[in-house]
Amino acid sequence: MLQNDIAIEDKYRIFVEKVSASKAVWALQSKGGWANSHSNEDEEITVVPFWSERAYAKACARDEWKGYAPAEVSLAEFLESWCVEMAESHALAGVNWDANMFGAESQPLQLALDVLNKLKAINSAIKFRNYTSIDDFIEDISEADDE
């Protein structure tokens, strides 16, 4: 495996672990909206970047995102709203990108599933608006994935 692939997998794993523990995700926001980019492979695919720590997000608030500031998003909102809506619009989630925009690009429902499974593994309590439990949310994603 290439070192870049290992680094990307590490960034993804760290993201899942940290957001599961902190129950918060960071994004970049300006008066005009949320920071986003396009997939290197396809200019038609929008990628919305998220970070596990405020400092990581702040480090990326430069160049084309100079006017953006880190904004905290609750983990429940990230999973229920952001991931679901990004999946519906065929966008990807950028995960723990560094200042050079190096990091993972993930299918949002897979990212949500990985976070939910981590929450379940650490026996974490989290309250959702639209789901009664972590298992209920996992089941809903699995059913959507089967379609």
**Neighbour-count burial of 34, counting CB atoms closer than 10 A to its CB (0-12 exposed, 13-18 middle, 19+ buried):** middle
Average of per-residue pLDDT values in the chain? 91
**Neighbour-count burial of 146, counting CB atoms closer than 10 A to its CB (0-12 exposed, 13-18 middle, 19+ buried):** exposed
- The greatest distance separating any two alpha carbons of the chain, rounded to the nearest whole angstrom, comes to 42
In this predicted structure, the answer to whether residue 14 has a pLDDT above a threshold of 90 is yes
> Are 25 and 71 a contacting pair, CB within 8 Å?
no
Reported pTM: 0.90
In this predicted structure, the answer to whether residue 42 has a pLDDT above a threshold of 90 is no
Q: Which residues pair with 69 in a beta bridge?
A: 29
